[in-house]
Every structure is written in C-alpha cells, then in structure tokens.
Amino acid sequence: MTVDQTLKAHDLKKTYPRQIILGLFAKHDQFLSAEDISQAFEKNGHPVPLSTIYRILDQFIEKGLISDVHVETSSVKLYERAHAHHAHHLICTECEKVIHVESCPVHDYEADLSKSHAFLVTHHTLNFYGVCEACQKAHS
Amino acid sequence: MTVDQTLKAHDLKKTYPRQIILGLFAKHDQFLSAEDISQAFEKNGHPVPLSTIYRILDQFIEKGLISDVHVETSSVKLYERAHAHHAHHLICTECEKVIHVESCPVHDYEADLSKSHAFLVTHHTLNFYGVCEACQKAHS
DNA sequence: GTAGGTGCAAAGAGTTTGCATACGC
DNA sequence: GCGTATGCAAACTCTTTGCACCTAC
C-alpha cells in the first residue's frame, strides 16, 4: 500500500507533512525522534514546525500506524513503524541503528512468572544493546 | 551497612538530603522519581529543592549506589537501588509497584543473536508489564 | 578554615496547547 | 463551503546550571 493509500484508508487527509512523515517510517524501519523528522523536512527545503510533527505522530499512534518506543540510550521520545508481529530490537549504541528480531525467547518464561508471582503479565519489552556489524568493522 | 556508613564509604559528606534519599532507596527497592523523593521530604516537614535532589541522584549514580531505569509507563526519569546481580522487573501498570526477578531467560538467546546477526550484545533490558496480585484482588 | 553542599532563581530542552489562517475534499 | 490541518507563539513539564551562602569535616 502506498503512503497516499494508507492515509486515505485511515481517514486522514493527504497533506504534505503527513505524506513525508509516513514515508519516512515506511522507508527506514528505524526509530525516529520528532527532531529527526524535523531535520528531514529541513533537507527537503520545506520546514514544518515541531508542533505539527508531534500532532501527526499522535494521530498516527492513534490510528495504529506507528508506536512509541522506549530506549535507554535516548532521553527523547522515539517512534517506530507499527509491526504486525511482536518483535524485539537490537540497538547499536554507536550508530543507533535498530535491527528487528521476530523470534521471542520469553513467552514460556512469562507463563512461569505469572504463576510464581501471581502477576498477570500483559506485555513485555526486551531490547538488546551492543555494537552492530558495521560499527565493529569500523574499529578494526 | 547503614546509610551513614555507606555515605562515608563513598566519600560523601553526611548531609540531611543525602541521608534521606539513600534511606528511601535502601528501604523500598522501588522505582523512585525526583518528584517522589521531593514529596518524601515534604512529608518529613523539611522540604529540599528539586535541584538538590537531582544533583544527589547524579552523584549516587556516579558512585554506583543507584541506577536510572527506563520504564515505558513513565515519562519522567526513574531511579532504583543498584543491584549486584543482573535482574529483571515485573511492573504493575496500576500501582506502579516493582517486583525484582533474579533469573534471566535470555542469556543463551543472547549468544545466538550475536552469531546470527553479527551483533555484539553488551547488555539487555527486559521488563514485564501487567497487574500485580494486590491490584488483581482489588478488582474482584 | 576549606572544600564541598545546599537553596534559590533562572535557564534549557522537549513537548503540548490555543488560536487564526489555509487547504483538502 | 465546511471541517480539518497547519503555522506560529506561548505555555508547560521536567531537568540542569550559576551563584551566594552555609556546613561537615
């Protein structure tokens, strides 16, 4: 589905800021901050205020197009394209690149926890931090 | 080790704000925000400005007495007592209570990841969100 | 007595909101 | 043309910093 089709499917008018922002998430599958997006607009030669960017991000979350992520290496809010499947992340602490991992090693463990602690687990977050292949090579 | 001994052991002068803050972490083993700590001072009848609280938290992190944590249910910085052992958390989304879990189900998985993605994993975060026993009972 | 800690006030970063204008449908 | 989106400016929250005074050692 193209960006324009996606917007239409979610009852969102086709506007320049929305097209660009949705396109960024569609293309890169990386974590993006409001500031990252603002800079992309700058590069395009057509800046868009942060207030508009935040409003669009909120809408996209509401529509389920993106979701916000929580990463310990960042003090600002980050957003990623919504994934149909539960996934985990490998986050490079040097270049900030994000690798998605579909498999999940903790589902069974979650069931054990529910029993042993009488805790009703609704979801979990699992992120791995380290150095990606490219950054490792850059050192050698 | 008492609070005063701990301070001395880390070359920190024994002052009122430091004693209280360290005492809070020693006693509760919960995630605390600067605001939580500020309110504890209020209750004591001897308020301490947030600037002092933040400065002390930074020092305690530097000394390895506490560490900052990243929790998706909170938009403010949270801190917890430093633990000698790698641990994970069960976080109640209703009362914010934190339960510590020592066992870790992903160590082997981490090794697999390193191979399959040529990614050098240095550490990971794993948090479970849900409803604790007390909050479940409160509903029934 | 001195180095370091605290309290106050002001600044800073990131995010949100109000309101008038502009634009997609 | 109508209703929503945008742009601008101002407000807001959380955190940090500068500086004068104070206090533990």
pLDDT in tens, B62-77: 999 999 998 888 999 9
Whether residue B72 lies within 8 A of chain A, CB to CB, comes out as yes
* DSSP states along B20-72: HHHHHHHHH-S-EEHHHHHHHHHHTT----HHHHHHHHHHHHHTTSEEEE--T
Q: Mean pLDDT across the stretch B92-116?
A: 91
- Whether B19 sits with its Cβ under 7 A from any strand C atom: the answer reads no
pLDDT in tens, A3-51: 999 999 999 999 999 999 999 999 988 999 999 999 999 999 999 999 9
pLDDT in tens, B87-100: 999 999 989 899 99
User: What is the model's pTM?
Assistant: 0.92
DSSP H/E element including A94 = none
pLDDT score, position A140: 77
pLDDT in tens, A90-99: 999 988 899 9
Is there a contact between B90 and A127 if contact means CB atoms under 8 Å apart? no
How far are the Cα atoms of A71, A75, A91, B44 from residue A94, in angstroms, in the given order? 14, 16, 9, 44
Using 50, 70 and 90 to split pLDDT, how confident is the model at B28?
A: confident
pLDDT score, position A70: 87
Is there a contact between A127 and B125 if contact means CB atoms under 8 Å apart? yes
Higher pLDDT, A84 or A134: A134
Chain D positions within 7 A of any protein Cβ atom are 4-10, 13-18, 23-25
